Amino acid sequence: MSAALPRDFIRQIIHEDLESGKHSEIVTRFPPEPNGYLHVGHVSSICLNFGAAGETGGKTYLRFDDTNPGKESEEFMRAIERDVHWLGFSWDDRLTHASDYFDQLYDAAEKLIELGVAYVDSLSADEIREYRGTLTEPGRDSPHRARSVEENLELFRRMRNGDFADGEHVLRAKIDMASPNINLRDPALYRIRHVHHQRTGDKWCIYPMYDFAHTLSDAFEGVTHSLCTLEFEDHRPLYDWFLDQLQPTSRPRQIEFSRLNLAYTITSKRKLSTLIEAGVVTGWDDPRMPTIAGMRRRGYPAAALRNFVMRGGVTKKDKLIEMAVLENSIREELGENAERRMAVLRPLKVVLTNYPDGQVEMMQALNHPNRPELGTREMPFSRTIWIERDDFLEEAPRKFFRLKPGGEVRLRFGYIIRCDEVIKNDAGDVIELRCSYDPDTRSGTQTSNRKVKGTIHWVSVQHAVAADVRLYDRLFTIPDPASAADLMDVVNPESLQEVTAMLEPSLQNFEKGQAVQFERLGYFCADARDHSPDAPVINRIVTLRDSWAKIERQAMAS
RNA sequence: UGGGGCGUAGCCAAGUGGUAAGGCAUCGGGUUUUGAUCCCGUGUACCGCAGGUUCGAAUCCUGCCGCCCCAGCCA
């Protein structure tokens, strides 16, 4: 059991801390800023935080880092809660906000002033930038750096009371303007913002900065291990500085890990919203979006996502994971659990000339070839059926074992048919096939042990249900779209293709969100938003592995 | 030419001084009424490079190279 658990370096630290008695219970937190939707990258953080704590009987807070009103909203909070919950994690009563601690944070700020390690600066933002120096040159002390404790206290209180306009003053930590670590060059702690806050209303007009609020929120909640991404590594000395100065009863430890990047996608909230604003996608939950909401709507199972990030592990190395890994996790999950159905994406009509007109037979179809306990369903079979256009080739290569003139194929759960005649329109397009069926070859009967190399799927024309099927492909044309000068240059114009497909009648009651495999095509789900029984809208989750496509590719290459 | 990180096969990733797990991908093959699943098999990884310590190093030391992050009153 425990041997199956991942033992990445963070979990190792956690176990050591438990064994050494440093901690008796592990407490972590997932601290999103509610200024956008969660994406694949967050899945890894969520699974790490909730996973590492949960595995040891510890607990995890879902804490909204809502220190920048104006950019944050309730809508995003609700979406985040929904996503984390859907992923399979719960926080019980541990749903908190940085804003829950605004009073304590304010008190802590005054304490820093009293300690003489924080001061009110009255330089403008531009001046502060100038004084900060550069990566290679030290900064200079602000002329206001030497203000007395009393003056600082008075100024800071007046800041809180609303005596000043935005930007007039800022509270800064007094650390070291010459530090090689720029985060230590007197970072801002509080800024004036006369903005309504989504939770605290107009109570405050000064708001704490991330480093200050985050460190103390961790301490207030008794967080033992504060896990964050690599870009905050430089902030750790500041994190520790706050703890050293204020000596809270609980001392959390910050540990950084690398974020997860997925090939052909982006995980920048800013860029994601650009896509929405530009109309490239329909919203945060567009099935092409790498957001949790988008992936959920696309039909990716939560378990697949969890397995996917577990496989990647937790390290400090920059990574760009191939799509194939994600797709494999999805196929693995769906292959095991999704029931099978038949649907024809690009229909080609086939008339079985020797099949009695008007006759309908009910064929027994397995819901899952490897799991007989999932039962069977009936599929009506008749004289006229739809087959996939791709399953017929007039001039077929030797290895093509589907339908071709004079050739035979098995209709899955049906009969073996032979193509006798190809009917074309004036333009020369194949519009119909005339075939004959072999009555002795009905699936399930022992009357025929004839074997044909190919088996194709089909749907009876008179019983078919038409549906709008959305075929999705990667949103970008290059593996690392974030590296593009202009994102718009690398969006895949063919990320969405819509077709009118023909579904087997049992799909009449396809339910929103339900996922099935359309045999030989891939996994599909009824769109959670647009689908309805009389106007089915279906998303392609992922295709099946396609070794025929590979053979074709190889043929093309040679 | 400041500081902080990271470098093990195409992509991830174990490994913590004893002579390189695993997954995905690839390429073969078997089973198959989904060219799916499943099952076998398949990789000289100069462990970034160069020195050094050691009986012995991916693991320790030194130097070098490459990549990422930091100059928001964003998080």
Question: Average pLDDT in the A315-344 region?
Answer: 97
> Pick the residue with more confidence: A413 or A444?
A413
Within residues 276-305 of protein chain A, the ones with CB less than 7 A from nucleic strand B are none
What's the rounded mean pLDDT across residues A82-93?
A: 98
What confidence score (pLDDT) does residue A555 get? 81
Give helix A74-86 / helix A40-55 axis angle, nearest 10°: 60
Evaluate if residue A472 carries a pLDDT over 60. yes
Confidence of residue A6 (pLDDT cuts 50, 70, 90): low
pLDDT in tens, A48-74: 999 999 999 999 999 999 999 999 999
CA–C1' A248–B73 (A)? 26
Whether the beta carbon of A232 falls within 7 A of nucleic chain B: the reply is yes
A229 touches strand B (CB under 7 A): no
Which of residues 199 to 228 on A have a Cβ less than 7 angstroms from any strand B atom? 207, 209-211, 213-214
A187 touches strand B (CB under 7 A): yes
A123 pLDDT more than 90: yes
Determine contact, residues A120/A147, Cβ cutoff 8 Å. yes
Mean pLDDT of all residues in A124-147: 97
Indicate the pLDDT class of residue A2, thresholds 50, 70 and 90: very low
Query: Does the active-site annotation cover A259?
Result: yes
To the query of whether residue A269 is one of the catalytic residues in this protein, the response is: yes
**Residue A211, CA: closest nucleotide via C1'?**
B75
User: Exposure of A57 by Cβ count < 10 A (0-12 exposed, 13-18 middle, 19+ buried)?
Assistant: exposed
What is the predicted pLDDT for the residue at A200?
Answer: 98
**Strand B positions closer than 7 A to protein CB:** 1-8, 10-16, 22-28, 33-38, 67-75
Contact A214, A90 (CB under 8 A): no
Whether A271 sits with its Cβ under 7 A from any strand B atom: the answer reads no
Q: What is the mean pLDDT of chain A?
A: 96
ipTM of this model? 0.96
Quick one: pLDDT band at residue A447, thresholds 50, 70, 90? low
What's the burial of A283, exposed, middle or buried (CB within 10 Å: 0-12/13-18/19+)? middle
Name the nucleotide nearest A311; use CA and C1': B23
pLDDT attached to residue A7: 86
Query: Does residue A116 lie within 7 Å of nucleic acid chain B, judged by its CB?
Result: no
**Judging by DSSP bridges, how do beta strands A95-97 and A118-121 pair with one another?**
unpaired
Alpha carbon distance A160, A162 (integer Å): 5
Cβ(A363)–Cβ(A379) below 8 Å: yes
What is the structure's pLDDT at A5? 60
Q: β-pairing, A59-64 with A95-97?
A: parallel
Q: Is the pLDDT of residue A274 over 50?
A: yes
If you ran DSSP here, which 8-state letter would residue A512 be given? B
- Which residue of the set A199, A259, A316, A512 is catalytic? A259
Segment A312-325 shows an average pLDDT of 96
pLDDT tier, A87 (very low <50, low <70, confident <90, very high otherwise): very high
Mean pLDDT highest for which of A27-31, A269-273, A311-315? Answer: A27-31
pTM value is 0.96
Tell me if residue A340 is catalytic. no
Q: Give the distance, in angstroms, between residue A97 CA and nucleotide B13 C1'.
A: 35
Strands (E), A9-98: 27-30, 59-64, 95-97
> Parallel, antiparallel, or unpaired: how do β-strands A496-503 and A515-518 relate?
unpaired
Calculate mean pLDDT across residues A418-431. 97
Q: What are phi and psi of A347, to 5 degrees?
A: -70, 140
Q: In the predicted model, what is the mean pLDDT of residues A19-35?
A: 97
Quote the CA–CA distance of A330 and A544 in Å, as a whole number: 10
Average pLDDT for residues A506-512, to the nearest whole number? Answer: 94
Judged against a pLDDT cut of 50, whether residue A3 lies above it is answered with: no
pLDDT of residue A558: 66
Distance CA A212, CA A155 (A): 19
Identify nearest nucleotide to residue A549 by CA to C1′ distance.
Answer: B35
Q: A356 falls in which pLDDT band (50, 70, 90)?
A: very high
Task: Look at residues A165, A213, A181, A184 and name the one whose alpha carbon lies nearest to residue A117.
Answer: A184
Given a cut of 80, whether residue A141 has pLDDT beyond it is: yes
Q: Is the pLDDT of residue A260 over 70?
A: yes
The three-state secondary structure class of A513 is: coil
Q: What is the distance in angstroms measured between the alpha-carbon CA of A101 and the sugar C1' of B24?
A: 44
How distant is C1' of B38 from CA of A183, in Å? Answer: 55
The gap between A461 CA and B75 C1' (Å) is 56
